[in-house]
Amino acid sequence: MVNRQLPNLQINGLTASYQTSGLVATCLMDNGNEFTSLYPTPVPWQLKDGGDGSRVLFLRNGHLLHFNNTTPWNNIEYGNRVRDARWDPASSQLKDEQYFPNPPLSWGVIPLDGTNDGLGFPNDLEIVNDPAWKNAQGEPMWAVAGKDYQLYGVFAGASGGLHWTLLGKIPA
């Protein structure tokens, strides 16, 4: 049984991969973000990151967006930034993409255009099911997020790397 190691936990969200059959991730209250692969052989759930799991979301291109309430490292909060991981079938692990050169931001934090940081704890985050809209650089938009009174899009460059762009401000 795949859930044998998850006795009585509060699930805040669940997502399944569009690219890898059987790969699922969940965010758990007080127990972080976790993932498992159900096929070809079920494996126990594995911790992606600790804290309060806040959101996990697989994009259609295989990237996993995830964040938690906060995870500090050397007094720098990075856990509440939207982070990016991709499935590595060789190791059966979700591995963080590296957009920044140094920890902790190098642990998957997706850069926000015009800053040296990522998008922190959005109010909402949703995938774009059919990314037909592209920015001026011709990059497809894979997800949208609202934070305070601003709307952001996450775009994939030619190399597949992601970045956030401010789309506009919502009048209060």
Tens-place pLDDT, residues 94-149: 999 999 999 999 999 999 999 999 999 999 999 999 999 999 999 999 999 999 99
In contact, 30 and 36? CB cutoff 8 Å = no
pLDDT at 7: 64
DSSP state of 5: G
pLDDT at 1: 46
Concatenating the DSSP letter of every residue in 109-141 gives: BPBBTTSSSB-BS-SEEEE-SS---B-TT-PBE
pLDDT at 76 over 90: no
Partners of 23 in the beta sheet?
37
pLDDT at 78: 83
In contact, 110 and 122? CB cutoff 8 Å = no
Compute the distance between CA of residue 5 and CA of residue 44 in angstroms, rounded to an integer: 7
The CB density around residue 3, as the number of other CB atoms within 10 Å, is 11
In contact, 137 and 114? CB cutoff 8 Å = no
Q: Domain segments of the chain: what residues?
A: 2-169
The helix/strand count (H/E) of the chain reads as 0, 14
Compute the distance between CA of residue 141 and CA of residue 157 in angstroms, rounded to an integer: 10
pLDDT at 57: 97
The CB density around residue 127, as the number of other CB atoms within 10 Å, is 19
Compute the distance between CA of residue 17 and CA of residue 10 in angstroms, rounded to an integer: 21
